Amino acid sequence: MSDKKHGGRFVRRIAGKGRRAAEPSGDDLWESVQMARHAERPYTLDYITRMCSDFEEVHGDRLYGDDAALVAGFGRYHDRPVAFIGQQKGRDTKERTYRNFGMAGPEGYRKAMRVMEIANRLGIPVVTLIDTPGAFPGASAEERGQGGAISRSIQMMWRLDVPTIAVVIGEGSSGGALGLGVADRVLMLENGTYSVISPEGASAILWRDAGKARLAAQAFKPTAANCYRWGVVDAVVPEPEGGAHTDHEQAAEILDQYLHRALGDLDALPAADRKRARRDRFRRLGPLRDPEGGLGMAAGREIPPPG
Amino acid sequence: MSKVGRNIHVSVDRLRQLAHRDARPRKIKADAGTCPKCDSHYSADEMRRNLRVCPACGHHFPVTARERLEQLGEPGGYVELWGDLRAADPLQFTDLRPYTERIAEAEKSTGMGEAIVCAELEVRRAPAIAAVMDFTFMGGSMGAVVGEKFARACDYAAQKGVPLIVVAASGGARMQEGTLALMQMAKTVIALDALAEARVPVIVVLAHPTTGGVWASFASLGDITYAEPGALIAFSGPRVIEETTREVLPADFGRAERQLANGQVDAVVDRRELAERIGRVLHILRRPETDGTTGTAPPGLQWAQDGAQKVKSMMDRMRPGATDSGSGG
C-alpha cells in the first residue's frame, strides 16, 4: 500500500534526525519547538474531521461542566467506530480563548474518562491526539482536583481492555499531555515535541529567567527523533514536505495510514496480551544505574547509521 | 504575662531585632532549631523527640525519609530496599550546572542515593512496605530511580500481600531527566494496580510539598489519603498560577486544610498521631485469613445456600403429591 511510499522516506528522515540529535544545534531544536506550535498547524478536530467519515462529539463530564480545551467523541473510522479524544487549540484570538489554549482542566480529563469508559464497555478502540502546552494552571482547576483527574485518566487508559493509540500531533507538555498518553502504541508527528514541561516553564524554574526558553529546548531535546530513541514513542509519523501546516489534507492522510495500520496490528492481539505489553512498555522507560542488575535498563534504541 | 504597667528592660539590639521580625526571610531548614511561626527555640534532640513538630504552635518541620521511617516504624527499625539504585543521565542534561554534578552534590549533602527510600517495616505491629520521599534530595523530584523504586515497592507489597504506605514530598517530575521523567508518572500509576490485584490497600501521606507530576500520579491515588498540616498540595504551584493567569491567590491556596475542604484528601493528620492513625486504619482494613478471597467458599454464601435448600425441601414437602419430590430440579 502507500505505507511503503512513506515508509522509505520516513526511515531516511529519522536517520537524518538521529544523526543531528547526536550533536544538537540549539537553532534546530528551537525551530522544531516553533514548528510544533505553528499557528497554521492542524489541530485535533482538523485531523478527526478528515480521517472520519462521521464524528459525534460529546460534551460535559456529568459532574461540573464542559471543557472546550479537550474534545471527545465517537467517529466512524474506516467503517468502524473509534473513540477520539484530544486537546483542542484555537486558531484566532477568540477561539484560542474559548479553547483555553488547549489547556484542559479536570472537567476535560473527566470527560475523556467518561468516553473511555463507554468505549471500553462497547469494545471500541480509543485514539487520543495530544496537543497541549500543559494542563490548565488555575486555582479553580486545583480546587476541583486537577492532579487527581490526570492521575485517574492515566490509570483508566492503562486499565482499558480495548486497543489504544496515542498520537502527539503538536506539542505535548507535562502531565497534561501524559493524561492522554498511556496507550498500546504511541505515535508522534515528525515535528511534534513531547516533554516534561514547556521550554518557557523550564526556563523559569531551572534558569530562574523566563527568557531562557531557547536554552531549555536545547537541554530537553524534546523532538520526535529523540523520543523515538528514548523509547517514549513507537513510531514517528512523517509530515508533508515543509511541515503539517503546509498541507492539512496530506498530513491527515499520512496519519490515517499509520493509525489504520497500528489499529490493525492491535486488533490481532488478545486483550490480555495487549495490556501486559502496555504495562511492560511503560515499565521499561527510564534508564538508571543498578549495580545488582548489571547495566541500567537500556530503554530506547540506537538509530543505525544510514547506508 | 501582661506587659501593661510594668517596667520592661530590653536592650536596643533586641528591639531592633523585634522590629525586623516580620521582614526576615522565612526559610525552613531540616535541622533548624527555631520555629518560623512562633520563634520558639529547640535543641536538635528536642526536635527529634517531638517528631519535628513545634510543641508550642504545632508547626510541622520537614522530615528526612530515614527519620520518617524511624517515626513510623517500630523501635526494631526498618529494612531498606533497593538502596543502591542510582540515576543515569540520559539527556546529558545541563542547566546552570550539569545534572551529574547536582546528583553528586545531593548524594553528599543528604547521605542518600535518591529522593525516595523504600523499606520493609511494621507500623504499630502491622507489617507494611513503605515508600518515603525526601524533599532534601533535589526537591524530592521523580526521575527514573524514584519511578523504579516505587514500582518495585508496589510489586513487593503485592507479592507479600501487605499494604503499601507512601509518604509524598516532592516538587514533581525531575526536569533533568526530561521526557523520560514524565513517563515515570505512567510507570508508578500502572504499578499501583499490582496492589489492587493482590487486594491490599495503599495509604498515602501528603507531606509539604506534594506538587506537579507526583500529585498528578500516584500521590492522588491512595485508598486512604492523609495530609500533614500546612502541606502544599497542588498540580500547579501558586507561583506558576499567579504568573500564568494573573490570579491573586489566597494565602492558604493548596494547603492541606483547604484541600480537605475541597474534598481532595481524607483527613489532615498531625504528625504526632500519624503512626497511630495509619496503624489503626491498617488494622481496620486487614482481611481475616479465611474469607472468600483466599479460595474457600465464602461462608456467607454457603450459609445462604443452606437456608435456601432448607426452604426448598420444606416447600417440596408441603406440595400436593410430595412423595415424588426427589428431582430437585
Cβ-nearest to B87 among A181, A205, A288: A288
Query: Hey, what's the torsion of the CAs at A187, A188, A194, A198, to 10 degrees?
Result: -130
Q: Out of A24-28, A144-148, A154-158, A257-261, pick the least confident.
A: A24-28
Q: How much is the pLDDT for B166? A: 98
A182: CATH: 3.90.226.10
Q: How much is the pLDDT for A77? A: 98
Q: How much is the pLDDT for B300? A: 61
Q: In A, which residues are within 8 Å of B254 by CB distance?
A: 142
Nearest residue to A197 (alpha-carbon basis) of B213, B244, B102: B213
Q: Which residues pair with A128 in a beta bridge?
A: A85, A166
Q: How much is the pLDDT for B18? A: 60
Separation of first and last alpha carbons in chain A: 24
Query: Hey, what's the torsion of the CAs at A234, A240, A241, A243, to 10 degrees?
Result: -80
Q: Which residues pair with B79 in a beta bridge?
A: B120
Q: Is the CATH code 3.40.30.10 the one for domain B63-285?
A: no
Mean pLDDT of A170-192: 97
Q: How much is the pLDDT for A307? A: 39
pTM of the model: 0.85
Q: Out of A62-66, A71-75, B30-34, B85-89, pick the least confident.
A: B30-34
Domain boundaries, position A115: 2-284
Mean pLDDT of A48-53: 98
Report how many domains make up chain A: 1
For residue A264, pLDDT beyond 80: yes
- Give the list of residues 6+ apart from residue B21 with CB closer than 8 angstroms, or none: B39
Give per-residue pLDDT as tens, B191-219.
Answer: 999 999 999 999 999 999 999 999 999 99
Q: In A, which residues are within 8 Å of B144 by CB distance?
A: 285-288
- For residue A207, give Cα distances in angstroms to A134, A195, A215, A265, B323: 19, 17, 9, 44, 92
Mean pLDDT of A257-264: 97
For residue A23, pLDDT beyond 50: no
**Residue A55 located in a structural domain:** yes
Set of cell numbers at residue A28: 534546530
Q: How close B141 gets to chain A, by Cα (Å)?
A: 12
Set of cell numbers at residue B52: 519535628
* Cα A12 from Cα A64, distance rounded (Å): 48
Mean pLDDT of A132-147: 96
Give per-residue pLDDT as tens, A215-250.
Answer: 999 999 999 999 999 999 999 999 999 999 999 999
- The mean pLDDT value of chain B amounts to 88
- For residue B91, give Cα distances in angstroms to A65, A90, A300: 40, 33, 12
Is there a contact between B144 and A222 if contact means CB atoms under 8 Å apart? Answer: no
Q: Where are the domains of chain B?
A: 28-61, 63-285
Give per-residue pLDDT as tens, B274-314.
Answer: 999 999 999 999 988 765 555 445 556 666 777 788 888 88
**Residue A303 located in a structural domain:** no
- The mean pLDDT value of chain A amounts to 89
Cβ-nearest to A196 among B84, B181, B253: B181
Q: How close B325 gets to chain A, by Cα (Å)?
A: 44
Q: What's the angle, vertex CA A9, arms to CA A4 and CA A12, rounded to 5?
A: 130
Q: How much is the pLDDT for A291? A: 83
Query: Would you give the DSSP letter of residue A80?
Result: E
Q: How much is the pLDDT for B17? A: 60
Q: How much is the pLDDT for B1? A: 45
Q: How much is the pLDDT for B314? A: 85
Is there a contact between A196 and B191 if contact means CB atoms under 8 Å apart? Answer: no
Give per-residue pLDDT as tens, A268-295.
Answer: 999 999 999 999 999 999 999 988 764 4
Is there a contact between A159 and B143 if contact means CB atoms under 8 Å apart? Answer: no
Set of cell numbers at residue A38: 505553528
Q: Which residue has the higher pLDDT, A304 or A144?
A: A144
* Cα B280 from Cα B294, distance rounded (Å): 23
For residue A25, pLDDT beyond 70: no
DSSP H or E segment with residue A289:
strand A288-289
Q: Out of A24-33, A117-126, B194-203, pick the least confident.
A: A24-33
For residue A302, pLDDT beyond 50: no
Q: Average pLDDT for consecutive 10-residue bins of chain B (329 residues)?
A: 54 61 52 79 89 94 95 89 95 93 96 96 95 97 98 97 98 96 98 96 98 98 98 94 89 96 98 97 88 53 76 83 51
Cβ-nearest to B234 among A142, A226, A287: A142
Q: Which residues pair with B170 in a beta bridge?
A: B210
Give per-residue pLDDT as tens, A182-224.
Answer: 999 999 999 999 999 999 888 888 888 878 999 999 999 999 9
